[in-house]
Amino acid sequence: MKALVAVKRVVDANVKVRVKPDNSGVDLTNVKMSINPFDEIAVEEAVRLKEKGTVSEIVVVSIGPKESQEQIRSAMALGADRGILVEADDNQLGALEVAKILKGVVEQEQPQLILLGKQAIDDDSNQVGQMLGALLNAGQGTFASEVKVEGDKVQVTREIDGGLQTVELNLPAIITTDLRLNEPRYAALPNIMKARKKPLDTKTPADFGVTSTTNLKTVKVEPPAERKAGVQVKSVDELVDKLKNEAKVI
């Protein structure tokens, strides 16, 4: 069966982001960009399913600027077979537009498994997988920590408040990955070289019938408040006194 994995180009998780001086967004100049970490987990899961013989082809899709090719190539170095870049201005697209484009890709590619991250770490929106499920009228197993494909069904164990829930979905199904699903491998150098030769198609949103832009406007982006310096106390008595009389928390 075919697996489609959606990978988003985001600021690398180890980068300390800077907000632009006019508070219009995050400054991306000379910032290291990577595959969204949850999407890397989605790629890894697809690769493991291919290694088991369940999946025969892995297609990765990314919607974003031309540079998103780098993330598609990284996914190919991890084991994906083929890539689709839907070239678009990220700022013009919201979760719904991304989901509509992905719906077009699914209709074209007809995958049985559609894997996404549970959320993109740049906007923490956690919407695309669910919207795609609704648009395709397909079952969805979100926040997956275990995936078992059996025949034309998939069992997804989900991380929910206070425990785990297992759901069974008919294929084709949407799965969004949580952190504990797997630990992605590092790409080996020969695979990075091989990835350069794998097929990568470039498309536009209009190719999938999407011409609308987002209704969402970012009003302001602010960095978190600076943490105030702490004080050192000499004794437990002094700590209790400060908590009682200064912080007034006890």
Contact residues for ligand AMP, defined by CB under 6 A: 6-8, 36, 38-39, 62-64, 95, 98, 116-117, 119-120, 123, 125-129
* Residue bearing tokens 């105030």: 228
Q: Which is nearer to ligand AMP, 92 or 188 (CB)?
A: 92
- 3-state secondary structure labels for all residues of 32-71: CEEECHHHHHHHHHHHHHHHCCCCCEEEEEEEECHHHHHH
The smaller minimum CB distance to ligand AMP, of residues 74 and 119, is found at 119
Taking the complex as a whole, how short is the minimal distance between the CB of residue 60 and ligand AMP, in angstroms? 9
In the bound state with ligand AMP, the residue whose beta carbon lies nearer, of 8 and 158, is 8
* Angle CA 116–121–126, to nearest 5: 55
Cα gap 234→236, rounded to integer Å: 7
Q: Are 184 and 44 in contact (CB under 8 A)?
A: yes
Query: Judged by CB, which is closer to ligand AMP: 10, or 195?
Result: 10
Shortest reach from residue 3's CB to ligand AMP, in Å: 13
**Shortest distance in whole angstroms from residue 84 CB to ligand AMP:** 10
Phi, psi (degrees; rounded to nearest 5) at 142:
-95, 155
Name the β-bridge partners of 167: 156
| CB-nearest residue to ligand AMP | 117
Q: Which is nearer to ligand AMP, 108 or 242 (CB)?
A: 108
What is the nearest approach in angstroms of ligand AMP to the Cβ of residue 37? 9
> Within 13 Å of residue 188, how many CA atoms lie on the same side as its CB?
4
Minimum distance, C-beta of residue 68 to ligand AMP, in the bound complex (Å): 7
